[in-house]
Amino acid sequence: MKTLKNHTLIYDNECPMCNLYSKGFTKCGMLDEDGREAFTELSGKNKNLIDFNRAKNEIALVDHDKNEVVYGLDSLLLIIGNSFPMLEKIARIKPLYWFFQKLYSFVSYNRKQIIPSPKNDTEQSCIPDFNMKYRMAYISFVVIFSAYILSEFSAKLGFNLERNFLREFAVCIGQIVWQTLFLKTYLKDKIWDYLGNMMTVSLIGTLLLIPALMTGFTPFFYIIYFGIVVLIMFLEHIRRCRILQLNFLPTISWILFRITALAIIILTNIEFKI
């Protein structure tokens, strides 16, 4: 690896993803050993150079030789391109660059909902601005992905259920509408943070169901497996609510809707079969 000398990456030390890949850059020699600096521990020199608010949304890379700063995708491409010039050239082709730029923003603006941090309550915390477009994009992605996987998995439960994407899509949308209407007064300004975290809980459950789709066991196995996944989602929902400093009300409302929706689907399907 070719080291990018005299550069400092200003990373969000309260974000596990940012922590991981910035540490990877230093460990593999793409940056100096001291080539990264925590956002909450900024030196006076770097604080004066960077756009403090922009650096919350786009990771900043400081060039100490030129006293210049690049942000976001450009900072990552500069580091990667120093060791792999061809990869940077490919990534900077206009259609690809546009896609990676959107992908970067998609992750960056939702990173606190993907992996929440309990240390987000100070002015110095690296909290990205709320972006409605990217929050809605994240919610939409999880809804569509979850509805597809649940549709595939439901056929394995043995309740005479058939694959039905629209049914599962309606359940996912119903969950969002239910929680929004039921909890809007309680959640107030935390509504979008909560919805983002709730969708990540759904995403975790969806990802856990995927391995089971590749197996061929009895319906009883899949019922037990599904129950374990729901338990994991339940515990994760509670954990995230604690981080958001919410009580058990969102979790009670969340699990109540899940149980009711599942019961209606099973009972309705049995009636139709009869």
Confidence of residue 271 (pLDDT cuts 50, 70, 90): low
Q: What is the pLDDT of residues 182-237, one digit of tens each?
A: 999 999 999 999 999 999 999 999 999 999 999 999 999 999 999 999 999 999 99
| Cα–Cα nearest to 4, from 49, 50, 56, 66 | 66
Helix, strand, coil percentages, rounded to 5, for the chain: 70, 5, 25
Q: What is the pLDDT of residues 67-90, one digit of tens each?
A: 999 999 999 999 999 999 999 999
- Which amino acid is present at 258? R
| Cα–Cα nearest to 107, from 181, 1, 200 | 200
What's the pTM?
A: 0.92
Q: Reply yes or no on whether the pLDDT at 47 is more than 80.
A: yes
Percent of the chain with pLDDT over 70: 96
Cα-to-chain-centroid distance, residue 191:
16
pLDDT confidence of residue 90: 96
Confidence of residue 45 (pLDDT cuts 50, 70, 90): confident
pLDDT confidence of residue 14: 86
Q: What is the pLDDT of residues 242-259, one digit of tens each?
A: 999 999 999 999 999 999
Compute the distance between CA of residue 144 and CA of residue 139 in angstroms, rounded to an integer.
9
Confidence of residue 270 (pLDDT cuts 50, 70, 90): low
Q: Reply yes or no on whether the pLDDT at 123 is more than 80.
A: no
For the chain, the average pLDDT equals: 92
Give every strand in the sheet of 60-63, ordered side by side.
Answer: 36-38, 7-11, 60-63, 68-71
Residue written as token pair 């020199």: 45
Give Cα separations from 169 to 83, 98, 165, 225, 261 (angstroms).
44, 29, 6, 21, 12
Q: What is the pLDDT of residues 152-186, one digit of tens each?
A: 999 898 877 889 999 999 999 999 999 999 999 99
